[in-house]
Structure 1
Amino acid sequence: MSLAGSLGGMGIIPKRKRQKVTEVCSSQSKHQVRFQDLTIFIVERKMGSSRRSFLMDLARKKGFRVEDVMSDSVTHIVTENNSWDEIWDWIQNLKLLNADKLKMLNISWFTDSMAAGKPVEIEERHKLQVQKMLQSNSPLPPPVVTISQYACQRRSTLNNRNKIFTDALEILAENFEFNENESAYVAFARATSLLKSLPYTISKMAALDGLPCFGDQTRAIIEEILEDGVSSKVDDLLCDEKYKARKLFTSVFGVGLKTADKWYGQGFRTLEAVKASKDLKFTKMQKAGFLYYEDINNAVTRPEAEAVAQIIETIVHNYAPDAIVTLTGGFRRGKETGHDVDFLISCPETMDENFLRKIVNKLDFRGLLLYYDMVEATFEKRKLSSQKYDAMDHFQKCFLILKLNKALVKNRVLSMSSVSAARPTDEGAEPEVKTQIKDWKAIRVDLVIVPTQQFAYALLGWTGSRQFERDLRRYTNHEKSMILDNHGLYDRKKKIFLNAKTEEEIFAHLDLEYIEPWERNA
């Protein structure tokens, strides 16, 4: 098969051309063409038809002419994750009359143009290859990689190629946060986030040249690790008595930095000493934190999270069959472990205001509730159109500790394996009880009640990661003059809230490429 045929089979050459052209003409006619001197063709391969259709429609709404099929009228080819030689060979096989005049561009030019509302000037970073190389047989130059300062414009998967650096920087960033040194914390957090997004491993300092987010302090840490394999600052910090105490005390559910510093100042260094003290008064949350400390600090696995999800969904649907229960947080980003399990429950506006309490009461009735803290909705306090976004949302929520039967998790794991015949029955768990072996685990769970019209924004906010959300809101404020929080998006210029039913629509409002949840591990 020829390369043209191969690429066509993967989506570069659309099928049923005649029908497509008719559809495009109809779609294009809905929008006025403002830029007559260029015509765009967006390559579907490695992008997908739904995303391609969305981008085509977005461009047409902004006044660009977009062709659905490749032809001699096309002036600008836009592609994502395809190499120059793949696209060039395909064009050669089409035998176009203007092939040597085509602008072959990566998606960054398209994104920049959509953000500007007009075709931006083509820079070197926008090109798939240097123009002068088209007429020669010389090897292709290395691709020019431009990396944004914003995590919301980078794809960060769980495949971290620079863990040796990010582990060190995260420890230092955490200590800056302990010391309430916001500027230093932000600097180290941003550098860590960018390293996680890189598709290559840093092997020499020159690899940092041209990258944003690296200052003298972060560069010095990376340079030392490259030379010695470790950071002396990190080693010193891990031996620091105050850092260790803060880290230990804040690992207790319900203990914040102020309490940790108070205990440290009173001379406490271990949890045993804290618990044994007769002078300290503990909150209800802290008492639960100590009581279930070992379980809560033992990572929650995905099978455990899915078992909890099954419990929550069953109870929710007993009261509201149409409610949607969505697992968020790190598990939605593809992680296999986490420190807790977060759920958004999307409900109709007419739902009983005591709905969340009914869920909690049912968990208690079933003997699954070890602790709960109910936080009522505070929508009347929300003023998104003010000068800054809300750091915390105003949804009704409940922070729980649930008792998860280990047999449920074991059954779930086995049912997903090929050894289905070995699946244990309820009676199979009884020997654990008889031999006094603890057959359950305490799991931290957050339940959040979200009105349907705000669900997309809540889902985006509760999915994370923390740095992705910080940069998304910073980008929204600095680049778009808007304000974003878990409830909505406010356009300060138009003085209106922008509706969105999906995360994709929120990204579109912000003229951002859509980033999948598993690519937000920033």
Structure 2
Amino acid sequence: MTLSFPIIFLLATNLNSKELQDLEEQIPTLTYDINEAEIVLGKVFRKERALFELRKHRLITEEVEPSEASTSASHGRKRVKLDTPALGSSDLDSDTASDGEIQRRLIGSAPVSPTVKVVKLPWFTESVKAGEVLPMDDYLVYEGHKVPKTPVKSAQPLPAEIAAQVMKRAAADAGALSRGSPRATSSQGRRGETYTSHPVRPALLRQTTSEHEIDTQLPPIPDYLHTTYSCQRPTPVHPPNEAFIKELTKIKTARTLVGDHIGVRAYSSAIATIAAYPYSIQTAQEVARLPGCGNKIALLFQEFKDTGQIREAREDESDPKLAVLMLFYNIWGVGETTARDFYNRGWRDLDDIVEYGWDTLNRVQQIGVKYYDEFQLKISRAEVESISATILAHANAIHPGFEMVIVGGYRRGKLESGDVDVVLSHRDEAATQDFVGRIVINLERAGYITHTLSLTTANSERGQVPVSWKGDDKNKKAGAGFDTLDKALVVWQDPVWDKNEEGEPRRNSNPHRRVDIIISPWKTAGCAVLGWTSGTTFQRDLRRYCKKERSLKFDSSGIRSRTDGSWVDFESGPDGSPAPDMLTAERRVFAGLGLVYRPPEERCTG
């Protein structure tokens, strides 16, 4: 049974990525807009810290007085009878009025601003354990009224000299408007300063049209978009709203670089939804009604429609700090946390890393720096196919019978790829056992692999069975189990290059490429192909769907039951016979999970 929690905004402060993801999946009323929240939940234990977090998220509040809080609480625990003589039918429609509206009018007080409560995280986790929403009294850190962003007119008279200045400016503005001319330059300057910190939001609805009339003019939302799981939607590589999605992706990337995990998840969900929307968006109303979007994304669309760009994306692109963080983030082996660490050390370019921190880098990062420019070059589909064919030929030279599927962005239909990903499998399970080391050695001797960045044999070490599941282990390292197949992440360079006229070899001018070789046993090859083909958000939602809807654990090495930990075989036929090929095995996984099969070209969620 789903508990009836208030609308909750989750603070990322002091939460690691695993904790953050688990909590987001557990909170049924989660919002990514703090202005909508009734509860702000997090690892916050002091009022001062709570106030800091609210300010950081640009939510201004005024603390609720103790007497006011007790009065509000006492009224809030009683449900008001709608047939009370204090209210006439002409005063209040009992079918549409909220309980809060009835309460305010019963006690004869003016409407008050909505409140927000900052609550300790254990309130939520202990409520889930208890199976009921617990009282917040023992967990409350701070409660405050939300202060409207629109300035409220003061009831106090202005000093005479200030009033005179205001009236003078108003008269000047009125005169300018009556002549059809723009406001005076000085007035523009003052208003510009105000709007810099509090931009005017465009109205989402025309004043002359009702919400119902607008809804009837908009295209119908497809049934598949009424789900929060992007693995249930067709998402093409080039959606109708690709230009808007590119702007949102720039903002999401900036959020990644600064460590805003909640923002990244919010933008990822919105992007995946809009990418699956089959119509060219015309109005902000279309965006606001889509799952995972809401008013924030709708306002960004309105800005994009009006100006052809989004101011936040432009500011991110021109931010010198973000430019440096992106430079570091693009180094192979460097994530956003390490990129920020490099920046905090005072480094501003690759030369700084080489000069001041080379010895502190691990081997993979050193290779990432060494071949930085080459790794940024895109790989054509023809070259992807050539590299893959070479890998398959060497695999069959070692042990005939290997089959291969090119996965990653290539299989999703991209014209150019950042790296090459291939899944190798063999119908004889003994052939895939410890094979990854043999294929790497063979390709190294042939001169194709210049460096091995990582070589994993976890699947062979556990006997090529799907990764075990023994319940939610809170001590497990975040991200463990995302992919546990045998694989080699290598640097590739074609050893054949031109010679000069004298026949002396010149330096190999072929670019270095990033190549991932994944080895899967045949019985779970469908899971491997599915996991390594799909876009990032598709994969995330697939695992979430399996957990929430099917009580299963999905991994590229196979599927396990979360009930008893047993392996769930969706890939074999009804008689237990193996799948005839890896692509058929992948289709069977979709069917076994109760999902409509989506071809690779429809899994481009980003």
2:530 maps to 1:454? no
Task: Kindly report the root-mean-square deviation, in angstroms, between the aligned alpha carbons of the 2 structures.
Answer: 2.8
Aligned to 1:249: 328
2:248 maps to 1:169? yes
From 353, 356, 373, the counterpart of 2:436: 356
Aligned to 2:337: 258
Q: After TM superposition, give the deviation of residue 153 of structure 1 in Å.
A: 1.4
2:594 maps to 1:511? yes
Q: After TM superposition, give the deviation of residue 276 of structure 1 in Å.
A: 2.8
Q: Is the 8 A contact 1:432 1:438 kept in 2?
A: no
Q: Secondary structure at the match of 1:484?
A: strand
Q: After TM superposition, give the deviation of residue 384 of structure 1 in Å.
A: 2.7
Q: Secondary structure at the match of 1:404?
A: coil
Using the alignment, how far apart are the partners of 2:314 and 2:501 within structure 1?
A: 46
Count of residue pairs the alignment pairs up: 363
Aligned to 1:479: 549
Structure 1 residue identity aligned to 2:431: M
Using the alignment, how far apart are the partners of 2:432 and 2:288 within structure 1?
A: 57
Aligned to 2:316: 237
Aligned to 1:397: 487
From 358, 362, 369, the counterpart of 1:290: 369
Using the alignment, how far apart are the partners of 1:203 and 1:339 within structure 2?
A: 33
Q: Secondary structure at the match of 2:430?
A: coil
Judged with a 3 Å threshold, the aligned counterparts in structure 2 of structure 1 residues 433 and 251 are, in CA distance, closer, same or farther, namely farther
Aligned to 1:370: 450
Structure 1 residue identity aligned to 2:309: V
Aligned to 2:229: 150
- Larger RCO of the pair (alpha carbons < 8 Å, separation 6+): 1
Using the alignment, how far apart are the partners of 1:229 and 1:405 within structure 2?
A: 46
Q: Secondary structure at the match of 2:353?
A: helix
1:12-39, CA deviations, whole angstroms, 9 ceiling, x for partnerless residues? xxxxxxxxxxxxxxxxxxxxxxxxxxxx
Q: Secondary structure at the match of 1:350?
A: helix
Judged with a 3 Å threshold, the aligned counterparts in structure 2 of structure 1 residues 433 and 298 are, in CA distance, closer, same or farther, namely farther
Q: Is the 8 A contact 1:155 1:520 kept in 2?
A: yes
Q: Is the 8 A contact 2:436 2:457 kept in 1?
A: no
Aligned to 2:604: 521
1:287-346, CA deviations, whole angstroms, 9 ceiling, x for partnerless residues? 222222221110111111111011101110001111112211111111111111011111
Aligned to 1:382: 467
From 528, 533, 539, the counterpart of 1:463: 533
Q: Is the 8 A contact 2:552 2:560 kept in 1?
A: yes
Worse overlay, 351-360 or 375-384 = 375-384
Aligned to 2:36: none
Q: Is the 8 A contact 1:245 1:264 kept in 2?
A: yes
2:420 maps to 1:341? yes
Using the alignment, how far apart are the partners of 2:481 and 2:294 within structure 1?
A: 27
Using the alignment, how far apart are the partners of 1:229 and 1:490 within structure 2?
A: 47
1:79-478 equivalence runs, <5 A = 145-146=222-223, 147=225, 148-277=227-356, 280-347=359-426, 348-351=428-431, 353-372=433-452, 373-377=454-458, 380=462, 382-387=467-472, 391-404=481-494, 438-478=508-548
Q: Secondary structure at the match of 1:294?
A: helix
Gaps of 5+ in 1: 1-140, 408-427
1:251-297, CA deviations, whole angstroms, 9 ceiling, x for partnerless residues? 11222223222220111111122223367533221222222222111
Using the alignment, how far apart are the partners of 1:431 and 1:155 within structure 2?
A: 54
Judged with a 3 Å threshold, the aligned counterparts in structure 2 of structure 1 residues 518 and 352 are, in CA distance, closer, same or farther, namely closer
Using the alignment, how far apart are the partners of 2:394 and 2:534 within structure 1?
A: 26
Using the alignment, how far apart are the partners of 1:290 and 1:256 within structure 2?
A: 13
Q: Is the 8 A contact 1:385 1:490 kept in 2?
A: no
1:153-198, CA deviations, whole angstroms, 9 ceiling, x for partnerless residues? 1111112221222112112222223333322211100111111122
Q: Is the 8 A contact 2:237 2:601 kept in 1?
A: yes
Judged with a 3 Å threshold, the aligned counterparts in structure 2 of structure 1 residues 178 and 158 are, in CA distance, closer, same or farther, namely same
Judged with a 3 Å threshold, the aligned counterparts in structure 2 of structure 1 residues 225 and 351 are, in CA distance, closer, same or farther, namely same
Aligned to 1:51: none
Q: Secondary structure at the match of 1:277?
A: helix
Judged with a 3 Å threshold, the aligned counterparts in structure 2 of structure 1 residues 364 and 296 are, in CA distance, closer, same or farther, namely same
Q: After TM superposition, give the deviation of residue 363 of structure 1 in Å.
A: 1.6
Structure 1 residue identity aligned to 2:604: N
Q: Is the 8 A contact 2:288 2:298 kept in 1?
A: no
Q: Is the 8 A contact 1:406 1:439 kept in 2?
A: no
Aligned to 1:132: none
Question: How does the TM-score come out when normalised to structure 1?
Answer: 0.64
Structure 2 residue identity aligned to 1:365: R
Using the alignment, how far apart are the partners of 1:278 and 1:508 within structure 2?
A: 51
Judged with a 3 Å threshold, the aligned counterparts in structure 2 of structure 1 residues 486 and 145 are, in CA distance, closer, same or farther, namely same
Q: Is the 8 A contact 2:432 2:519 kept in 1?
A: no
Structure 2 residue identity aligned to 1:219: A
Using the alignment, how far apart are the partners of 2:268 and 2:340 within structure 1?
A: 23
Q: Is the 8 A contact 2:288 2:294 kept in 1?
A: no
Q: After TM superposition, give the deviation of residue 375 of structure 1 in Å.
A: 2.0
Question: How does the TM-score come out when normalised to structure 2?
Answer: 0.56
Q: Is the 8 A contact 1:450 1:458 kept in 2?
A: yes
1:389-435, CA deviations, whole angstroms, 9 ceiling, x for partnerless residues? 9552222211100112576xxxxxxxxxxxxxxxxxxxx77669879
1:125-153, CA deviations, whole angstroms, 9 ceiling, x for partnerless residues? xxxxxxxxxxxxxxxx9766331322111
Q: Is the 8 A contact 1:176 1:184 kept in 2?
A: yes
Q: Secondary structure at the match of 1:498?
A: coil
Q: Secondary structure at the match of 1:387?
A: coil
Using the alignment, how far apart are the partners of 1:320 and 1:520 within structure 2?
A: 33
Using the alignment, how far apart are the partners of 2:301 and 2:337 within structure 1?
A: 31
1:224-252, CA deviations, whole angstroms, 9 ceiling, x for partnerless residues? 11222111111111122332111101211
Structure 1 residue identity aligned to 2:337: K
Aligned to 1:15: none
Q: After TM superposition, give the deviation of residue 457 of structure 1 in Å.
A: 0.7
Identity of aligned residues (%): 25
Judged with a 3 Å threshold, the aligned counterparts in structure 2 of structure 1 residues 201 and 278 are, in CA distance, closer, same or farther, namely closer
Judged with a 3 Å threshold, the aligned counterparts in structure 2 of structure 1 residues 217 and 209 are, in CA distance, closer, same or farther, namely closer
Using the alignment, how far apart are the partners of 1:495 and 1:283 within structure 2?
A: 36
Judged with a 3 Å threshold, the aligned counterparts in structure 2 of structure 1 residues 370 and 354 are, in CA distance, closer, same or farther, namely same
Using the alignment, how far apart are the partners of 1:397 and 1:444 within structure 2?
A: 13
